[in-house]
Structure 1
Amino acid sequence: MKSYLSLIPISAKVRRRQNRMTILCIVIAVFLVSAIFSVADMMLRTQMNRAAGKDGSWHLQIAGITQSQAEQLAQQPDVVCTGAGAVFNEGGEEDYRLNGKRVVLYGCDVQFLLVNRSVAFAGTFPEQDGEVLLGKGAARIFGVAIGDSVTLKLPDGQSRTLTVTGIGGVDESYYEMQFALVDIYLPQETFESLLTGQGEALPQTVYDLQYTSAAKAAKALPQLQQQYGEDAVHENLNVMGSAGQSNSTAFRTVYGMAGVLFALVLLAGVLMISGTMNSNVAQRTRFFGMMRCLGMSKQQVVHFVRMEALNWCRIAVPIGLVLGTFSSWAVCGALRYGIGGEFATTPVFRLSMGGLCAGVVVGVVTVLLAAQAPAKRAAEVPPVAAASGSEQAAVVHHAANLGSGRTETALGIYHATASKKNWFLITASFALSIVLALGFIVILQFASLLLPSLAPWQADVIYTGYDNERVLPDTMAQQLRRMPGVARVWGCTGLVHVPASSDRNNVEQVTFCSYDDFMLESSKSMVVKGRMAKNSGADNEVMTMYNKTNPIRVGDTITVNGVPLTVVGAFSQGIFPDDVTIIAPETLFRRVAGEQNYNMIGVQLDRTASDETVLALAAFSSDQIVVQDLRESNRQDRGTYYAARIVLYGFLAIIGGISLLNIVNSISMSVSARMKQYGILRAIGMDDAQLKRMISAEAGTYAVSGLVVGIALGLVLNRMLYTRLITHYFGAAWQVPWGCLAVIVVVVLAAVVLAVYNPVRRILMQPITATISEL
């Protein structure tokens, strides 16, 4: 033997079964980190591609500068492309019409389109008067192709015939769902000449800068803001945020939460592995005492334990990386092929170097950190332990206080608390698992509130009056119901700034809305306070919205047009987003406000509906009626909702599983470390039932101390996160999560039962002599 380190592979073979749990803990830590980082890497790539398609590939936008200043910026070595553009009549309110439709006019250069699109547009960019580039939605509505003509009608009554040279504009996801608003793109000179001829003030030109990387843009941002003013320079939040370079508070909050989550996972791994290694060292007291007798110094013992831990990494890290990679492929595959939509381009069978490197680094670092305390403990083993085999780290000055209870129960509690360091490690391991669960529950609730979940009445095609005018008659809703491919049609009316009074004198005006019978029935699942109002409206019962800025509470009486209305419930979300809103059944609404046209009609399609069905529904579009196709938006929202829930609940399941395994492992290793003592107790007369009660008492002590500390710290974290995230943004008051606490207690007790079962069974199956002689 050339070195003491030559004993490491020999010890690994001899103690293969005892080392199995330690290796499993390292595998889990590497698997968790590599899977999380790999999925995050793939999602980041997907988000960056999606951001480029939706918000463009530019990084910084500057307004209020001259063309010569823009040319100077374009000459900087880090700037790849500079696009100039201006927009007029963005809401379609001015009297400009393209083939009878309200039109948004863009005056830009070809670079502006290139940095605001993910793919090239069809055809060529217009270069002279009489040429135009149409948005994709406009080409679909008019049924025109490249080379066809469209007519632009101006406010002064003149009309211009424009030849289509290309198709494909900016923000296509918005314009493609419009049927009353279209977009066109003109050369800057033509754009300015047209508006000047109509006596319009020219809109401000903005310059979009695309850099070689988001990091270069982030570096240039402070200097540009100092030079041109903070209000003149804006960053592309999605592109910069996806690259981790955004100064946005929202993105920094996300980065901070990711950092905290990473630190907690790392800490959980350290405690889990440290606990197993500590128990491993405790079982080999005689071995380290013997090595000290043979001349191994304390520093050599520390080095031996660390190298032994790294030897476990040689086996555990590759296994964890493989499992993490396969898991990330499964998650990405579920997102791409199971959900689709915005996740349809998610990479699946790709290796994430970031995920693999994070797994390796975290695995090795976690093991080295976890090995510190066990290594020092092993170094403190005196040479005399080789003869005595003593595993008692602390000097015993008096007999255990057994009290008036059962002897075996008192011994179990004493075993758990005798070694303060071991008790602390196991308690901390328990507590961290509980704190993680209670903290993540709040993040899960916050994410669920942010997710764009679809209401039961969510429309596939929606009609609104332009500028919210009430121009949709009930006869139109009846006509829509008779059209093929239509499943349901609902209508509602919203009157804004309606004078009102409250019995608590805290309301002066409200948004007064009507829901028809279908909307009321569909909204029953969205009642979060009180109960649903009666459809008949006989008792003057109304609903409101539940949010922190709404002064109306369930039980209030709101008087509108001299009619007292009783608020009996609150919805989590509704058609009209106004804070001070009351919602009445249609019968009651008409009795209070009189006969009114709708200002919103929603259409839900059945499975037989096609694009032709939507085009037929779009025929109702006019200068006063806005029609929107929400099918793709709904599909994306639904995909985002389910994808986020899969990821969030999957991560919660991983945390729960690791917490359970951590608890089982901690107790099992602690019990295994005392195998020799249990053998001695059996030799002097302890029967099997007493042995079970003693080990159960020891495990129960760990569980109780872990529950007390974990729940105390976890509730503090739970309340802090809830107050900052949910109460601050949504107004809901924090309450003790009794249901979650009950689940945690049940899981911990189940873990104690599982942890006790295997060691007890192993002890009882072994002869007493074998248990005493086991190292």
Structure 2
Amino acid sequence: MNIVNKLTIRHLKQNKRRTLVTIIGVIISVAIIMAVTTLGISFLDLMKRQTIANEGEWHVLYKDVNKEQLEAIKSDEDSKKVILTKDLGYAYLAGSQNENKPYLFIKAYNSEGLQNFPIELSRGKLPKAENEVVLSEEIVNNARVEYKLGDQIKLQAGERQITNQEGLLVLSQTDPLQTENGKIIETLEEKKTENYTVVGIMKRPEWEPTWSPGYTIITYIEDSKIGAEDKTDAAVILKKVNRSLYAHGEEFAENNKINKVYFNNNLLRYYGVTNNDNLNATLFSLSAVIMTVIIVGSVSLIYNAFAISVSERSRHLGMLSSVGATKRQKRNSVFFEGFVIGVISIPIGILGGLAGLSITFLFINSIIQGALGVTQKLEVTLTPMTIFIACGVSILTIFISTYIPAIRASKISAIDAIRQTSDVKLTGKAVKTSKLIRKLFGFEAEIGLKNLKRNKRRYKATVFSLIISIVLFLAVSFFTDHLKKSLVLSQDGINYDLQVSLNSKESADDVKLIQSFANLDNVTESNFTRKIRNVNSWIEETSITDILKDSVKNDKSILKDGKYPYYINLISLDEENLRSYAQTAGVEYEKLLNQDQFAAIVIDTIPYEDNEAEKFVEMKAVYKEIGDVIELNYMDTLTGKEEYLNQVVVAGLTGQHPMGVMPAGPGGLNLIVSEDVMEKIVGENNVMDIQTALFLKSSDPMETQEKIEELKESYMYVFNIYLGRQQEEQTIMIMSVFTYGFIVLITAISIANIFNTISTSISLRKREFAMLKSVGMTPKGFNKMINYESIFYGIKSLLYGLPISVVVMYLIHQSLMNSFSFKFTLPWIDIIFVIAAVFIIVGAAMLYSSAKVKRENIIDALKQESI
């Protein structure tokens, strides 16, 4: 070790407080980087494990392959495991008590499939032969026939079929039972009879759709017994998961004449793999923006630790220069200081980031599992790449942070360093202030402003720290809000657990019975709706949505007298829900009760997936103003004639959907009215085609469904879509935990950054404050000076920080626009919060730091050489 490096280490030991502050700053910065990267990986790992637990593990699915194609799949060098799965068809369930589930759905897996798909046994064992079967607990509970282990059952399996205008259609497990006026209109074409032995009872599979008409039962398929003409599905678990799997899968299918190939995008997206170019662009650009924000924040935190004390260090460097140190040696002295601090701080920062995450996960896991019902725990997932990124970014950050001070140090001459002329500007022009400042705020404010001008480097470092803190907070909060909005747009919009509907002509007793279900135990929220179907309206071309305007330009024949045909969902809500919904939409509830002029709330903003642009879009469904009139027509399905129904006045416009009301697509419109208005319209026109439905949220949807099944009439239908909604809420909630955790972390770091910068700056000004006190400045005057300095810091940082934040937020918005489309809006509440927080935090930091300075002895402070 050369003499300059030895002197650098000695100097670090002498100035223990400054060295400790710098080390703490670097540790916090490294901990941030480590925590953020690990948190992202851990979150993706949780979603990956939860998806596998719910839906099974597979990456590529080849449909209807024969034996030769199956051998090719197994021989493919990318295939790690090959799961055979085959849908053997439907069979009638003897004694089924659920009218919406009259079938058994027979599904076969090979041994790999039984291991990798989530099949949870309650008792018994998994099938090991083709004549063995595992039944669902739901079958045991809902069939009048008692099934137990060892029972022999005979099943005649076949296809569900229905004939419609397009001809014969074969139905799958995702298609609900086809009924009309309470009667089943589909048929079961039996093809094969099999005898099975019940060897196990399992819990209802998570991947079985709740609306499916068949209870799933699992049997076994032997790879070696597949004949040359047999067809089966092959799901492949790949050795390596990367983006090339899409091209490889399609190419492999084409080369081996496989007609259908599917990819498990629900799982692959958590590997960071997608075949959507827009989504890739979104992910990469978002990652770039967020990582840049984090790096800049980290650089500012570490840079301030070096830069703000450069005037104190300059005397030491000047002494080195006076005894013959070269520019290179002085520059390397600063780099060596960064190296020493990095060697100490980086390992501690990495361990600190991991320890902080571990403790956080320990506390929030029980909350997440209890609130969301997820089976997997959030675990700290550490990968070599995570450590490499954290170390690499930290080293780069320290280098950038020390580079400018190092270059500045190399240029310091011995005389300037000893006299400190480069840091303190004493020319009249440099410290000149406006006379207005003294008149408005007094002498103390002028002194405070002159202090800032005299110590421009410290002042700029503090302001820079504040600007970075403002940008960090606003960028991350904006990112969080828009990420949640994007997730909501990409989801199906399911906001209820159970739907009880009545499609036939209703009676007062029917309505009363359905409404009574809202009073069942476990029901937490309900919404009773009635909807008139087969209603349309002719909307002026100038008012239709932009997508339809493009269609009209290509084909004017769509219009009739310059108007476009919209389908209308005219929906009434019960009094309690309508009152609450009206308040949300900003509409006076009494307006919706006026029967002389029918009023409606129009849902004019809808989410929409544009398949051509591969984007999720938030679009205007119609361009209408409050007070406009919408004429309604009713299409009689028997005669095919369109008859005038009535007209409604637009009382309010909103993008909020009541529970159970799904977004209309382009060319459709949801109109929300009161029950009184609905009764008036129905009564006057004798409208028959009405759908009555009750939508429920329940703390135990399965138990609630069972109670409803016991009470309902045969022509009432119950749909349990709890699992689908739960999966959406899990995704949004877990993402919220991740992003809001990020906000808390960034906020804490920003506050620490400001306190660190200001406290260090105040500590370096001890002699300056002692001099002011020595010439007669009172404690009251000193406090006023500090307060005004705080105000100047806040105003200057906001003048720069807010515009920069807007630019960063716009870049984040543009990144999201690769996959979504909605307007850029400024988060005014967050901006107001930041403005208030800046002055509060700066004021608190200044008062805290100056309070310590006040206790210093004037003589000792004037003599002080180090901190």
What TM-score does the superposition give when structure 2 sets the normalisation length? 0.75
Map residues 424-573 of structure 1 onto 2, 5 A cutoff: 425-450=461-486, 459-464=496-501, 469-470=503-504, 475-476=509-510, 478-479=512-513, 481=516, 485=521, 487=523, 490-502=527-539, 506=544, 508=565, 509-521=567-579, 523=581, 527-528=584-585, 530-532=587-589, 536=593, 538=595, 539-545=597-603, 546-547=605-606, 548-551=619-622, 553=624, 555=626, 556-561=628-633, 562-569=645-652, 570=654, 572-573=656-657
Offset of residue 87 of structure 1: 5.2
CA distance in 2, matches of 1:587, 1:166: 57
Equivalent of residue 285 in structure 1, options 314, 322, 329: 314
Unaligned runs of 5+ in 1: 197-201
Which region of structure 1 is more displaced relative to structure 2, 531-540 or 35-44?
531-540
Residue by residue, what CA displacement relative to the aligned partner does 1:193-220 show, whole Å, maximum 9, x if unpaired? 9xx9xxxxx9x964321112324xx444
The residue aligned with 1:47 is 47
Q: SS in structure 2 opposite 1:172?
A: coil
- The one-letter amino acid paired with 1:430 is L
CA distance in 1, matches of 2:483, 2:826: 19
- The one-letter amino acid paired with 1:72 is A
Q: 1:461 to 1:410 in 2, by over 3 A?
A: same
Residue by residue, what CA displacement relative to the aligned partner does 1:334-361 show, whole Å, maximum 9, x if unpaired? 4421121454421457777666555444
Q: 1:442 to 1:386 in 2, by over 3 A?
A: closer
Residue by residue, what CA displacement relative to the aligned partner does 1:404-461 show, whole Å, maximum 9, x if unpaired? 2436645544554567666554444332322222222322222343566999996543
Q: 1:67 to 1:324 in 2, by over 3 A?
A: same
Point out the structure with the larger strand share.
Answer: 2
Offset of residue 117 of structure 1: 1.0
Q: Is the 8 A contact 1:676 1:771 kept in 2?
A: yes
1:373 is the counterpart of 2:394: no
Equivalent of residue 384 in structure 1, options 410, 415, 435: 415
CA distance in 2, matches of 1:752, 1:420: 18
Q: 1:112 to 1:619 in 2, by over 3 A?
A: farther
Offset of residue 150 of structure 1: 6.3
Equivalent of residue 337 in structure 2, options 308, 314, 332: 308
CA distance in 2, matches of 1:120, 1:74: 27
Q: Is the 8 A contact 2:286 2:816 kept in 1?
A: no
CA distance in 2, matches of 1:519, 1:161: 52
Residue by residue, what CA displacement relative to the aligned partner does 1:471-510 show, whole Å, maximum 9, x if unpaired? 7765345335278636576432334441224587646331
Map residues 298-697 of structure 1 onto 2, 5 A cutoff: 298-340=327-369, 341=372, 343-348=374-379, 358-385=389-416, 387-392=418-423, 400-404=431-435, 405-406=437-438, 409-410=445-446, 412-417=448-453, 425-450=461-486, 459-464=496-501, 469-470=503-504, 475-476=509-510, 478-479=512-513, 481=516, 485=521, 487=523, 490-502=527-539, 506=544, 508=565, 509-521=567-579, 523=581, 527-528=584-585, 530-532=587-589, 536=593, 538=595, 539-545=597-603, 546-547=605-606, 548-551=619-622, 553=624, 555=626, 556-561=628-633, 562-569=645-652, 570=654, 572-574=656-658, 575-579=661-665, 580-593=669-682, 594=687, 598-605=691-698, 614-619=705-710, 626-630=717-721, 640-683=731-774, 688=779, 691-692=782-783, 695-697=786-788
Q: 1:337 to 1:241 in 2, by over 3 A?
A: same
CA distance in 2, matches of 1:391, 1:755: 27
Q: 1:448 to 1:537 in 2, by over 3 A?
A: farther
CA distance in 2, matches of 1:115, 1:550: 47
1:172 is the counterpart of 2:205: yes
CA distance in 1, matches of 2:254, 2:218: 29
CA distance in 1, matches of 2:285, 2:233: 32
Offset of residue 145 of structure 1: 4.5
The residue aligned with 1:243 is 271
Which region of structure 1 is more displaced relative to structure 2, 413-422 or 750-759?
413-422
The residue aligned with 1:213 is 240
Residue by residue, what CA displacement relative to the aligned partner does 1:100-157 show, whole Å, maximum 9, x if unpaired? 63548566552684476145777455865x7665566545533644544365576477
CA distance in 1, matches of 2:219, 2:620: 44
- The one-letter amino acid paired with 1:601 is L
Offset of residue 266 of structure 1: 1.4
Offset of residue 514 of structure 1: 2.4
Offset of residue 551 of structure 1: 0.6
Q: Is the 8 A contact 1:104 1:181 kept in 2?
A: yes
CA distance in 2, matches of 1:401, 1:299: 37
Q: 1:49 to 1:145 in 2, by over 3 A?
A: farther
1:273 is the counterpart of 2:310: no
- The one-letter amino acid paired with 2:656 is S
Offset of residue 285 of structure 1: 1.9
Unaligned runs of 5+ in 2: 159-186, 545-563, 607-618, 634-644
- The one-letter amino acid paired with 2:272 is G
Offset of residue 50 of structure 1: 1.5
Name the Cα RMSD after superposition: 4.4
- The one-letter amino acid paired with 2:331 is V
Map residues 144-183 of structure 1 onto 2, 5 A cutoff: 144-148=147-151, 149=153, 151-152=155-156, 155=187, 162-163=195-196, 165=198, 172-175=205-208, 177-178=210-211, 180-183=213-216
CA distance in 1, matches of 2:522, 2:509: 16
Residue by residue, what CA displacement relative to the aligned partner does 1:704-732 show, whole Å, maximum 9, x if unpaired? 3321121112123334545764898474x
CA distance in 2, matches of 1:604, 1:221: 39
Q: 1:67 to 1:259 in 2, by over 3 A?
A: farther
CA distance in 1, matches of 2:429, 2:139: 90
CA distance in 2, matches of 1:440, 1:678: 38
Q: Is the 8 A contact 1:145 1:164 kept in 2?
A: no
Residue by residue, what CA displacement relative to the aligned partner does 1:34-68 show, whole Å, maximum 9, x if unpaired? 22233333322222211222333111223476542
CA distance in 1, matches of 2:826, 2:488: 27
Residue by residue, what CA displacement relative to the aligned partner does 1:300-351 show, whole Å, maximum 9, x if unpaired? 2222222323333455445434442343123323442112145442145777
The residue aligned with 1:74 is 74
The residue aligned with 1:199 is none
Residue by residue, what CA displacement relative to the aligned partner does 1:633-656 show, whole Å, maximum 9, x if unpaired? 565555555444343333222222
CA distance in 2, matches of 1:229, 1:528: 53
Q: 1:461 to 1:79 in 2, by over 3 A?
A: same
CA distance in 2, matches of 1:58, 1:221: 14
1:756 is the counterpart of 2:846: yes
Q: 1:401 to 1:390 in 2, by over 3 A?
A: closer
CA distance in 1, matches of 2:535, 2:690: 16
Q: 1:612 to 1:512 in 2, by over 3 A?
A: closer
